[in-house]
Amino acid sequence: MANMQKKLLVVESPTKARTIDRYLGGQGYEVVATVGHLRDLPKSKMGVDLDKDFEVQYVVDAEKNKIVSQLKKMAKGADEVYLATDPDREGEAISWHVAWLLGEDGGQKKTSGYKRISFHEITKEAIEEALEHPRAIDMDLVNAQQARRVLDRVVGYSLSPVLWRKVRKGLSAGRVQSVAVRLICEREKEIASFKAEKYFKVTAVLIKEGQEFLADLVKVDGKRFTVEEKLKLFDGVYGYSKSLFEKNEQVEEFIKRLGREFTVEKVSGKEISRTPLPAYTTSKLQQAAARRMGWSGKQTMSVAQRLYEKGLITYHRTDSVYLADKAIKDFREFIGKKYGSEYVAAKVRVYRNKAKNAQEAHEAIRPTSAERMVLDDGDSREKRLYEMIWKRAVATQAAVARMESTTAVFINDGGLFQSKGVRMLFDGFLKITREKHEDQLLPKLKEGEAVGSKKVNYEEVSTNPPPRYSEASLVSSLEKQGIGRPSTYAPIISTIQQRQYVEKEDGRFRPTSLGVATNEFLVKNFESILSLPFTAEMEGDLDKVSLGKLEWREMMKRFWRGFEVQVKEVEKNAARVKVEAESLGEKCPQCQEGDLVVRVGRFGKFVACSRFPECKYSRQLKEVAGFKCPECGAEGVVKRTKTGRRFFGCSNYPKCKWAGWKKPA
């Protein structure tokens, strides 16, 4: 009997390695993990030779030398080597780096001869299918990833020294991160310049046969009332046009003239339907987890990574809403068996990609099996995220929810009021997503009949400024503009917080004084680089590289020709920007001349003398948070971790060690 061939299969993660090993046991495969990247640009210098056609100097992480040696030894003893890293550009690049290291032979680098396999779910069937169809490393995808790394490195290493000289020492800038900071700063300006507008909302409490219901005023003497005249100001944010009533007295006068009875002018009803949303993409999953559970993008991706590596969901970095035929068949069969045939969509439901240049993984995020409705094991976070993913994906093949909508219009002395009701006819996909729906029923009404009223209320309301960005809305805005990709959203948001350009307050981002100053300098001097269209255009060029339609070095040359001139011009002529520090209104206790101000340092905010560096007085800043410590009753304060994340603690530390992520009520 011939000896079984030895095969080496390389992945990135130990968990992924264990899951695959469970499926391939006894077939001669040895599965090993690289534990992330083995080779990358150096940490201490640019690592890109701008004068030698953007030649890249990759280095092996010192902590990975042992793994590299182990991989080389295992590869020499293997008959076949399979590279099974993640199915996106970064995964392709990792496979290329592994092949490059394993192919080292007397100075000659060789990356051919290794079998690249990719799969979007870690299941026995998917892995066996991939092993039957190995391919060569896709150098277009590798070059797209190289281009992103080189582009970001060149921009960062070119801008950072300028910021050191013109704004403050120790600063750094990133291509996409700086655009995210710009969005947050611009929203802050919109909030500061916003002028609230007063309007009045009038509501009648009507009653028929003992049933009370509400009707809103929409017209007065034939003129449409403001509640109907919504003006879209920002994404998802609305204001109102000027109210018909300018003073309380006018509203009260109008209400006084109304009779006790309202006449039904018109009753109309129609059937409406709700269609399920597509399965999650990366950005939509991050947005949903942020809204429902308050998770950061980084937390969401960490939990999703674990679910993927355990073989429970498909690859979690994707901007596609496509579902594989086998998944659709699985979902439809499950719905019919679990809920009944009437709950299965009449036709297979297919969704179209709306994201610009949708690429990365080929499928939306979905469970690998519809039968697994909930997780029996795993921690609470894994269970919650999996349930979200399962409901959203399976529901895509469920029947629409049908409702009856009724609109009733009432008139009373020149005032036109409107009331709406809704009744569920068939819950459809809502049975799967378990979304709560409460019928809002109107009594039976006939045109021309009179309906009594209990009272008519009014309230004075002011328009609100646009809200600050949350993680969810910031990711949504970046995605709509075509900026960033599934794998970059979470790192972008983490980076701008760690660099202390923005801070989170009650789940919303606001720029720090450092962020405002840095943004103003960059926008004034590098407007084109930080413009939304330019950044989106660069993402488009990277997509062209991944499709083999653009050579990456040509892309870099075109960019560098203009950028190099701009950097030199700014270094020579740009004025230095002063970071406005918040004053505490106190004199420095050390020099008695300077004022005490709040500055932002590596580990957060601190108090210093305005005469620095002449006076080096400093002390820790206690940011009063407006609550009492739940354990000792002392003043509650805001603190920060080494990575800049806010948390709450006791001012009496270390005597009292109470701390928490959420501010006590």
pLDDT number for residue 173: 87
pLDDT number for residue 111: 58
pLDDT number for residue 230: 41
Identify the active-site residue in 240, 308, 315, 343: 315
Length, in residues, of the chain:
665
User: Distance from first CA to last CA of the chain, Å, rounded?
Assistant: 73
Question: Is-catalytic flag, 653?
Answer: no
Cα–Cα distance measured from residue 281 to residue 471, given in angstroms and rounded to the nearest whole number: 16
Cα–Cα distance measured from residue 138 to residue 88, given in angstroms and rounded to the nearest whole number: 10
Mean pLDDT, 10 residues at a time, the chain of 665 residues: 76 94 90 93 92 93 92 90 94 94 61 84 95 95 95 93 89 89 95 86 93 91 53 38 73 92 95 96 94 91 96 94 95 97 96 62 90 92 97 98 96 93 96 90 94 93 87 90 85 89 88 92 89 89 94 95 93 87 84 84 76 84 84 87 77 89 82
Strand pairing category for 39-40 and 198-208 = unpaired
Using an 8 Å Cβ cutoff, are 388 and 313 in contact?
no
pLDDT number for residue 4: 66
Q: Which of 540, 560, 562 is nearest to 549 (CA)?
A: 540
Fold for 148-193+469-573, please state it.
Answer: Topoisomerase I; domain 2 (1.10.460)
Q: Which of 202, 207, 201, 200 is nearest to 258 (CA)?
A: 202
Domain span(s) for CATH 1.10.290.10 in the chain: 282-397
Which residues in 515-534 are b (16+ Cβ under 10 Å) and which e? Answer: bbbbbebbbebbeebbebeb
CA angle in degrees (0–180, nearest 5) for 168-173-175: 155
Q: Give 239-293 as a DSSP string.
A: EEPPPS--SHHHHHHHHHH--SEEEEEEEEEEEEEE-PPPPB-HHHHHHHHHHHH
The tokens of 610 are what?
A: 């305005």
Please name the CATH architecture into which domain 198-275+401-462 falls.
Answer: Distorted Sandwich (2.70)
* CATH 3.40.640.10 describes domain 282-397: no
Domain 7-137 carries which CATH code? 3.40.50.140
Q: Residue 251: CB partners within 8 Å, gap ≥ 6?
A: 200, 202, 245, 458
- The CA-atom distances, in angstroms, between 409 and each of 200, 218, 227, 375, 421 are 20, 10, 15, 50, 12
Using an 8 Å Cβ cutoff, are 251 and 365 in contact?
no
Domain span(s) for CATH 3.40.50.140 in the chain: 7-137
pLDDT number for residue 527: 87
> Phi/psi at 462 (nearest 5 deg)?
-115, 145
pLDDT number for residue 235: 39
Cα–Cα distance measured from residue 555 to residue 440, given in angstroms and rounded to the nearest whole number: 58
**Global confidence as pTM:** 0.84
The tokens of 311 are what?
A: 């073989």
pLDDT number for residue 261: 95
3-state secondary structure 182-248: HHHHHHHHHHHHCCCCEEEEEEEEEEECCEEEEEEEEEECCEECHHHCEEEEECCEEEECCCCCCCH
Domain span(s) for CATH 2.70.20.10 in the chain: 198-275+401-462
The tokens of 159 are what?
A: 């801008």
> Phi/psi at 83 (nearest 5 deg)?
-105, 110
Q: Is 376 exposed, middle or buried (0-12, 13-18, 19+ CB in 10 A)?
A: exposed
In 258-379, which residue ranges form alpha helices assigned H by DSSP? 282-293, 297-309, 325-339
Domain span(s) for CATH 1.10.460.10 in the chain: 148-193+469-573
> What is the C-alpha radius of gyration for the chain, rounded to an integer number of angstroms?
30
pLDDT number for residue 232: 39
In 365-488, which residue ranges form alpha helices assigned H by DSSP? 380-394, 430-433, 471-480
